Amino acid sequence: MKKLNMDLSLKRRTLVGSGILSVGALLGKLLPNSIFAQIPSSDRSIPLHGGSMTMGDVDNLRNGFDPQAILTDWDLGKVSPLPDGRTLREFELSIAEREVEIAPGVVYPAWTYNGRVPGPSLRVTEGDRIRIRFNNPGEHPHTLHFHGIHSARQDGIPGTLEAIPGETVVYEFDAKPFGCHLYHCHSAPFKRHLHKGLYGAFL
């Protein structure tokens, strides 16, 4: 009895599978003639799914930065030797509130570090002394919060080196540990500052 049930189940699956293949083959024969025949030949390159597509290019000159170029556009800072023989790297980051074109004709009111999203990619060597002048001419408080190991006084969270509008603060710490890290604004509300564009890479 068990074997009979298994045989019947297999036969049903075979019939269903054959039916699906037959319907698929039939539609494959009919659809090109029924659907594509209704589309002008000049428009047949347009995707049918959704019927929408982006036309044109983002104006990188208007934005002031090229997203492709900044992938390898490292900011190495101003380099000078310290008395103990180590390297001092000095950077300057400023808040700029500006519109950024994110798709052709679509602009977003961004908050940026140095006028771009993401902010400059800061590249250093482990053990370097890092000094960053952070200017905030914007309308909201902002910070620089670096992922890595540093003093809590340099952590860039509200209450520690948060630059209020019109203020300049200085962050200074040793670069460690080695790796690819982030920096971003940590002012409240945190999510808003992040999605507005205040983040960058610290390598």
- 53 has pLDDT over 50: yes
Strands 87-103 and 78-81: antiparallel
Residue 175 · residue 130 · CB < 8 Å: yes
Query: If pLDDT is split at 50, 70 and 90, which confidence band does 20 have?
Result: very low
Q: CA-to-CA distance for 119 and 199, rounded, in angstroms? A: 6
- 180 has pLDDT over 70: yes
Q: CA-to-CA distance for 94 and 112, rounded, in angstroms? A: 8
Residue type, 173: F
Q: Which residue did the predictor score with more confidence, 1 or 199?
A: 199
Query: If pLDDT is split at 50, 70 and 90, which confidence band does 160 have?
Result: confident
Which residue do the tokens 């509008």 mark? 165
Query: If pLDDT is split at 50, 70 and 90, which confidence band does 81 have?
Result: very high
pLDDT of residue 192: 93
Residue 182 · residue 202 · CB < 8 Å: yes
| Three-state secondary structure of 24-46 | HHHHHHHHHHHCHHHCCHHHCCC
Q: CA-to-CA distance for 161 and 163, rounded, in angstroms? A: 6
Looking at the whole model, is its pTM more than 0.85? no
User: What tokens appear for 182 in the block?
Assistant: 């982030």
pLDDT of residue 55: 67
Residue 109 · residue 99 · CB < 8 Å: yes
The pLDDT of 106-120, averaged and rounded, is: 95
DSSP per-residue string spanning 140-180: S-B--EESSS--GGGS-STTSS-B-TTEEEEEEEE--SSS-
Look at residue 190 and give its three-state secondary structure.
helix
Of 94, 72, 181, 85, nearest to 128 by C-alpha is 85
Among 3.30.420.40, 2.60.40.420, 3.40.1030.10, 3.20.20.80, name the CATH number for the domain at 60-202: 2.60.40.420
pLDDT of residue 151: 79
Query: If pLDDT is split at 50, 70 and 90, which confidence band does 158 have?
Result: confident
Per-domain residue ranges of the chain: 2-43, 60-202
